[in-house]
Structure 1
Amino acid sequence: MRISTNQIFNMSLNNLNSAMTRMAEASMRNSAQKRVLVPSDDPAAMGGIINCRSFELETEQFIKNIKTASSWLSLADGVLQQTSTDIGRIKTLAEQAATGTLTAEQRRSIGENLRGILGNLLNKANTEFGGKSIFAGHKLDENAYEQTLHATTTDPNLPGDSVVAVKGASETSIDIRFTSGGTVGTDAITYKYSSDGGKTWKNGTLAPGSNKLDLGPASLELKTGTAVTEHTDTGGTRLIVRPALEYKGDDNDDLNVIKYGTTQVDTKADGHFNSDVLVRIDKDGDVSSPPVTYSYSLDNGNTWVHSNVSADNRIEVPGGSLTLSPGAGTTVSKGDQFVIRPNTADLRLDISQSQSIRVNNVGKDLFGGIYTKPGATNPTPSPDDKNSNLFETLGRLIGFVETNDKKGIGECVAELKKVHEHVEMKAAEIGARMNRAASAEKLAEIRKDNNTALISRLEDADLGELLSELNQSKLIYEAVARSSRMISEMSFLSFM
């Protein structure tokens, strides 16, 4: 069979290209020090490499989250440590003010020092990390606290919700004493007030139909219907307007229920929910004569769990329950819906595939103060436990010191010891979260190193083998090139 010159040329060219490609691939592997560069090199190994790369990116993000969480928590821990030191100073000043030999002027001087500490604590409570407030719950772009005025009463018979609002401003505490008794909003009631610790007094009258006490630069509104009595040395109604810090963030306290439909039943939710839970009535009914047929959804209505029947008017859902009770009406109709919506102030960062860590804090749970709860119209101490409310204890202490009330000062001294324990406990909780973050970071680093080692085993090449392959491919290329050149030079005259 005759072999044409064209066939010889094509075969030589193909062999040359194949040898050149092999040498180029060997050169690339040698340059990258990798055994697997493309899926065709080792499909099984490449699948493992892709999974490892994905795990590596995920782990790096977890490590970034952990470092961010550690920074937030470390800053909060530092603030609480400084706050603990400030409480020590407050206790010292309070004990000095409680000394019976001090004059009213000396106590006012101590009051100025306490106001300075209150201002420093306000700055600490409004601490930011990267422009985000760390003590305001989810309200990261707002200050956690604002300074305002609030009132303390020394009358044990005056209900706690008697003070509706305190407005205006005052650089000193205002001592208010009623000089006649009566019912707010009905009777004409007289009172006197002092802004200089009792040196001088001004008189005022609360007219019938009014609930607002004029205190010069400030005013105090009492709840209509409140009964007050004349203040004497043995008792009566007395109020002290003094500084307070109001929490402006959000909380984790309450569960809100939103109704959709025509039903007028009353609702109450109980339990712990991390997100909204939707409840839908599937059959007309009456909460006075259960059962109630319903469905619920945990993903904002995308999917529903059907055919649930309550034994009574208490509807059970994952995380807790929704209780329906007679209100303006008792009936529920098919299609009526209720949304259980928790107050979620927590900001969490994922630190692993199955774990997250809370990095922010609800300021009122740490420092206290006054707070207007969702749905409420006026602020109240929160928490209402005096032994857990640093800012309110300090505010009342300033009021007692500036009005020369030794008994009130003594009460605050006792409270400060408990408050100090509360702050230390909260600091310990943050410390525990810091330790958890540190442990998670160590584990993530170990996983990252193990993953890197696995990738190396899958794709890295032996240097000796690479050099041998490269030299071999060069020899083959040179041999093919030499052979092709010799063949191309052959002609009929070569055989003559």
Structure 2
Amino acid sequence: MRIARSMIYTQSLNGSNSAMSDILRLNEQAGSQKKINRPSDDPSGAAMVLSLQSHINSLAQYDENINSAKGWLDTANEQLGTISKTITKIQELANQGSTGTVTDKQRALIATELRELQVQLIGLTNGDYAGNSLFAGASIDKPAYKVGLGATVKNAEQSLIHSINGDAKKSIAVKFDTLTATQTVGAAAIPLKYSEDGGNTWKDATIPAGAGPEISVQLGGAEVNFTVGKDINQDTSTVIRPAAVYTGSIDGEAKARYYGANTGLNPVPVGVFTSPVAVRIEQDVSIAGTTPAPTPPTPAIGNVEFSYSLDNGETWIRGDASSDAFLNIPGGQLNLGGTGTLRAGEQFLVNPIDSAIRVEISKGTKVQVNSIGANFFGGIYRDKVTGATGPVDGVPAEKNIFEVVGNLIASLEMDDQEGVKKCLGDIKKANEHITTETGVLGGRQNRLKFASEAHSNSKMSTTTRISTIQDVDVTALSTQSERAQYIYKTVLATSAKVMNMSLLDYMK
């Protein structure tokens, strides 16, 4: 085979370039300390590094969520610690007021101090984190509680008192001892007596006859609304006393949305809903509207033909013909909230409110960061449709700290030693209940701690794996660099000798 001189030149040049390329590649690795500086260096290794780095990035986002959740829960835990100290002080005052050696004036002074502590307690339950309410459920943009008035009813239904507005510097006692027979609110005028000074003096008032859900009576600075249809007898009594009104969201509440042309409708769900309910109007109908009620009202002008769905509209169930103001659906009713015309095919959607705010702390795992104050501290709740107030559901009366404190204040202001003793026992139960609920927060904090530790371990092992794939071995790189430089020098020396050779050199 004839070796042309051009072939020698080309081969020498290629060898020189190849050796130089190795030197440049090794120098680049030495400078970056990485074996993979571009995907072409190791396509499969580069793909694996990108996948592992994506995992680390996702862990970083989870860590941010954990830090945010930790801020929520740590703040709530600190707040609960201060609340516990306040309740301990309330318990001490209750213990003082329950002794027989304390005079009525001293009990009144204790009650005054307790009123301040109750306001302080409400302020603590309105604590926030980064401007978000800690104990208002999903209603994080507003305080969980506000100062209000409540009622303790004896020998009658608690719902006798529909709601109370206004203010009262001292508890107001109400009695009906002049009655000779049971009377029904609204059927006829009902006389009563009330006292604003602990029962020392009494004033006369009357619940007038009338219709409607409730009838208002002004008792001092308080407007007391009595529920029409409720019975009162000679032994019935009530005390209007301080209370905490829960204004946050609670489990089971729902919101409704109307999909139709009648702009005058403002639908409101009434009841407890655990899943979405879709409602479809089946025929054109004119609605007149009635006063909201907690139970199905008597059909008014006409009946609404409708169907409802519990599976996002896949199947529909024919609903019972309802009054033109309320549609009976699973979980309660839908108050149409207006008048006008409904057209066939128009729909409503009732969606339960999820009071829990959750953040994702790992793939598929979330933790709740907020709390529903009503479950911790109780209080009273005003129905968003009827306006009726009553103790929150789900917390027994003896564990409802705000109601217990309200009754304690009333008992002290009425110089009721036995009532104070009962409240003293209830305070202990309520405090134990709050401690139990606080333990739930502690469990969430532990979950955050374990998740954070798991992330740290995962990041460490993933980083080690990336380093194994991507980082250079400095000792091996140094050896390879020396070898590459030696090869390059050898190629240059050999090429120089070959380039100088020619046929004339041979002929000499």
Which one is further off, 53-62 or 434-443? 434-443
The 2-side partners of 1:141 and 1:259 are apart by 25
C-alpha displacement of 1:191: 3.2
Q: CA distance change for structure 1 residues 489 and 193 in 2, over 3 Å: closer, same or farther?
A: farther
For residues 417-441 of structure 1, give each alpha carbon's deviation from its aligned partner in whole angstroms, at most 9, with x where no partner exists. Answer: 2212211211122112222221222
1:33 partnered with 2:33: yes
Aligned partners of 1:189 and 1:324: how far apart in 2?
A: 36
CA distance in 2 between partners of 1:134 and 1:293 (Å): 36
Alignment partner, residue 218 of structure 1: 222
The answer (yes or no) to whether the contact 1:30–1:470 under 8 Å persists in 2 is no
Q: Summarize the Cα distance change of 1:374–1:26 in structure 2 as closer, same or farther, 3 Å threshold.
A: farther
1:278 positional shift: 6.1
1:19 is displaced (CA, Å) by 4.9
The within-5 A match list for 1:25-424 is: 25-153=25-153, 155-157=154-156, 159-178=157-176, 180-181=178-179, 182-209=183-210, 211-230=215-234, 236-254=235-253, 276=276, 296-297=311-312, 341-373=351-383, 375-383=385-393, 385-424=396-435
Shift of 1:460: 1.3
- Normalising by structure 2, report the TM-score: 0.75
Aligned residues: 452
Alignment root-mean-square deviation, CA: 4.1
Distance between the aligned counterparts of 2:133 and 2:333, measured in 1?
42
Distance 1:114 1:490, change over 3 A: farther
Q: CA–CA distance in 2 between the matches of 1:47 and 1:23?
A: 25
Letter in 1 for 2:373: G
Which one-letter code corresponds to 1:167 in the other structure? N
Q: Which ranges of structure 1 fall in alignment gaps of 5 or more residues?
A: 231-235, 262-266, 282-291, 314-321, 328-333
- 1:406 Cα deviation (Å)? 2.6
SS in 1 for 2:101: coil
Matching residue's letter, 2:68 = T
Contact 1:138 1:249 survives alignment (8 Å): yes
The alpha-carbon distance between structure 1 residues 482 and 280, as it changes in their structure 2 partners (threshold 3 A), is farther
Deviation digits for residues 306-364 of structure 1, max 9, x if unmatched?
A: 6x799xx9xxxxxxxx859999xxxxxx9897856333111111121121111111010
Tell me how far apart the structure 2 counterparts of residues 105 and 449 of structure 1 sit (CA, whole Å).
Answer: 68
Gaps of 5+ in 2: 261-268, 282-306, 321-328, 335-343
> Which amino acid in the other structure matches residue 80 of structure 1?
L
Separation in 2 of the partners of 1:475 and 1:374?
Answer: 87
CA separation of 1:99 and 1:125: change in aligned 2, threshold 3 A: same
8 Å contact kept, 1:115–1:398 = yes
Displacement after TM superposition at 1:394 (Å): 0.9
| Change beyond 3 A, Cα 1:138–1:479 | farther
Distance 1:466 1:400, change over 3 A: same
Separation in 1, partners of 2:366, 2:187: 57
Compared with structure 1, are the counterparts of its residues 483 and 115 closer, same or farther at alpha carbon in structure 2 (3 Å cutoff)?
farther
User: Are residues 1:23 and 2:38 paired?
Assistant: no
Counterpart amino acid of residue 133 in structure 1: S
Shift of 1:295: 8.5
**Alpha-carbon deviation of 1:184?**
3.2
Are 1:104 and 1:197, in contact at CA under 8 Å, matched by a contact in 2? Answer: no
Q: What displacement does 1:173 show?
A: 1.9
Return 382-391 or 441-450, whichever deviates more: 382-391
Aligned equivalents of 1:371, 1:482: Cα separation in 2: 95
Q: Is the 8 A contact 1:244 1:395 kept in 2?
A: yes
What is the CA distance between 1:248 and its match in structure 2? Answer: 1.2
Question: Given the superposition, is the C-alpha separation of residues 201 and 494 from structure 1 closer, same or farther in structure 2, using an over 3 Å criterion?
Answer: farther
Letter in 1 for 2:163: A
- In structure 2, the CA distance between the partners of 1:364 and 1:194, relative to structure 1 (3 Å rule), is same
SS of 1:351 mapped into structure 2: strand
Mapped to 2, the partners of 1:325 and 1:253 lie a distance apart of 11
| Structure 1 contact 269–340 (Cα < 8 Å) conserved | no
Alignment check: 8 A CA contact 1:349 1:359 kept: yes
Do the aligned residues in 2 keep the contact of 1:279 with 1:294 (CA within 8 Å)? yes
Q: Is the 8 A contact 1:279 1:296 kept in 2?
A: no
Deviations 1:201-250 (A, max 9, x none): 443344443922212322111112333345xxxxx332222111111111
How much has 1:53 moved relative to structure 2?
0.4
Amino acid at match of 2:445: M
Q: Provide the residue aligned with 1:288 in structure 2.
A: none
| Matched position secondary structure for 2:70 | helix
User: Cα 1:53–1:484, aligned 2, differ >3 Å: closer, same or farther?
Assistant: same
Retained in 2: the 8 A contact 1:128–1:134? yes
**Alpha-carbon deviations, 1:163-221, whole Å to 9, x = none?**
12211122322223346444433433333333332344443344443922212322111
